[in-house]
């Protein structure tokens, strides 16, 4: 059976002040009024039955997740005691899924990306899942670059293995860290490099086999968790074991050295909306290049991202700023420094302004 696992472990820092600890990015409606997690859920729900839908999230946001997705069966919100990166997250989900379905095939995807064309992504996920169901191995989806983006990691395509439902299936050559601009330009001009979408497909058993082979400490922890599943002490066991799981990513911790790794090139519109300026990718700017949401009045101002989550925003004569206004906090920062929002949040914590976190 196909299972869809949504990784919803965001910490709520990069979109401060809209995002908070108790309302991380996946609960925000960055584009059309639908929280990103809700949109992601609706995107994959048609692929399987309700019993095949899973969310992995932080303990603090588990209850809010259940409220947002009331149709999810009880027990299908998996609460991580602490975040330990994607290898632990995916391994934990595979462990739980395998416990009830020995033949489980999983598609695994982040909760907080924006993909307008839902049919296209479902079509690709289905093709990838069908491929790994037949051939095994770990599969990742790569987005064909539309610009020389330096903010994303890339996948290098290996040889073409074949096609499945119209999708080309390649061997994955390797993962590539975020490139400089010159390198990104060659990637965008060619066809061998794809944006790393963070979406995967595998048989749950294949993922756990690779973890056992490459990450024995993670495998041992997951084995302990598996042994407790369904018992009264499962939660306490999870709380004991999980914080000690090794912290690594699926990409570099597992797939990079997997015995069999695939990638499927896709070309639907996709954005991971990694920081405020990325909103320009998913919200159409006005004629002055201003991205606006909420009540905004802009005179002689261009290239700004202005998000009024409550208060109106009124500007004149400003350029290339990010301005976000919520009822209790306002952020103003140049677009080219918007990566500093995470640092800003740590300053707020240091200042003891816990009510704003």
Residue ranges binding a second copy (CB under 8 A): 17, 295, 297, 299, 308, 310-318, 321, 323, 325-334, 337, 340, 343-344, 347-348, 351, 353, 356
264 vs 315, beta carbon nearer a second copy:
315
- Which of 223, 215, 228, 153 is CA-nearest to residue 184? 153
- Which of 10, 206, 9 is CA-nearest to residue 97? 206
Query: From the CB of 314, what's the least distance to a second copy, in Å?
Result: 5
233 vs 352, beta carbon nearer a second copy:
352
217 vs 353, beta carbon nearer a second copy:
353
Query: From the CB of 294, what's the least distance to a second copy, in Å?
Result: 10
CA 131, chain centre distance (Å): 22
Burial of 102 (C-beta count, 10 Å sphere; 0-12/13-18/19+):
exposed
Query: From the CB of 150, what's the least distance to a second copy, in Å?
Result: 19
Query: From the CB of 310, what's the least distance to a second copy, in Å?
Result: 8
Give the whole-angstrom CA distance, residue 243 versus residue 83: 8
148 vs 285, beta carbon nearer a second copy:
285
Q: Which residues of 64-84 are buried (b: 16+ CB within 10 A; e: fewer)?
A: bbbebbeebeeebbbbbeebb
Query: From the CB of 352, what's the least distance to a second copy, in Å?
Result: 11
Residue 186 CB-half CA count within 13 A? 5
197 vs 326, beta carbon nearer a second copy:
326
Query: From the CB of 181, what's the least distance to a second copy, in Å?
Result: 21
139 vs 291, beta carbon nearer a second copy:
291
Record the tokens describing residue 88, joined without a space: 């632990």
- Which of 198, 119, 103, 202 is CA-nearest to residue 165? 119
Query: From the CB of 61, what's the least distance to a second copy, in Å?
Result: 23
Query: From the CB of 297, what's the least distance to a second copy, in Å?
Result: 6
171 vs 314, beta carbon nearer a second copy:
314
Residue 124 region by backbone torsions, left for phi larger than 0, else alpha for psi between -120 and 50, else beta: alpha
Pairing of strands 2-8, 105-110: parallel
237 vs 348, beta carbon nearer a second copy:
348
Phi/psi for 229 (5° steps) reads -60, 135
Q: Side by side, which strands form the sheet with 321-325?
A: 291-293, 305-308, 321-325
């Amino acid at each position: 059976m196909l299972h869809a696992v949504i990784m919803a472990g965001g910490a709520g820092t990069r979109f401060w002040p809209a995002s908070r600890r108790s309302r991380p990015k996946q609960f925000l409606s960055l584009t059309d009024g639908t929280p990103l997690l809700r949109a992601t859920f609706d995107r994959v729900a048609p692929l399987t039955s309700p019993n095949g839908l899973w969310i992995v999230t932080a303990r603090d946001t588990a209850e809010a997740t259940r409220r947002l997705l009331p149709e999810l069966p009880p027990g299908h919100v998996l609460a991580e005691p602490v975040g330990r990166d994607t290898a632990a997250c995916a391994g934990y989900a595979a462990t739980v899924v395998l416990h009830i379905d020995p033949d489980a095939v999983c598609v695994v995807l982040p909760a907080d990306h924006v993909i307008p064309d839902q049919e296209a992504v479902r079509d690709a996920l289905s093709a990838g899942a069908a491929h790994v169901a037949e051939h095994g191995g770990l599969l990742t989806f790569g987005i064909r670059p539309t610009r020389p983006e330096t903010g994303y990691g890339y996948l290098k395509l290996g040889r073409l293995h074949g096609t499945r439902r119209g999708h080309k299936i390649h061997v994955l050559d390797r993962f590539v860290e975020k490139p400089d601009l010159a390198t990104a330009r060659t990637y965008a001009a060619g066809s061998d490099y794809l944006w790393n979408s963070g979406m995967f497909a595998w048989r749950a058993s294949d993922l756990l086999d690779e973890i056992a082979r490459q990450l024995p400490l993670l495998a041992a922890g997951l084995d302990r968790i598996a042994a407790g599943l369904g018992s009264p002490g499962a939660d306490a066991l999870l709380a004991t074991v999980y914080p000690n799981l090794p912290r690594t990513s699926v990409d570099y911790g597992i797939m990079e050295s997997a015995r069999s790794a695939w990638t499927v090139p896709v070309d639907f519109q996709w954005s991971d909306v990694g920081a405020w300026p990325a909103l320009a990718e998913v919200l159409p700017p006005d004629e002055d290049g201003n991205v606006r949401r909420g009540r905004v009045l802009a005179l002689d101002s261009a290239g700004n991202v202005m998000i009024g989550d409550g208060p109106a925003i009124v500007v004149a004569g400003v350029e290339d700023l990010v301005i976000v206004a919520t009822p209790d906090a306002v952020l103003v920062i140049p677009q080219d420094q918007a990566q500093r929002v995470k640092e800003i949040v740590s300053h707020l914590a240091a200042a003891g302004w816990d009510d704003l976190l």
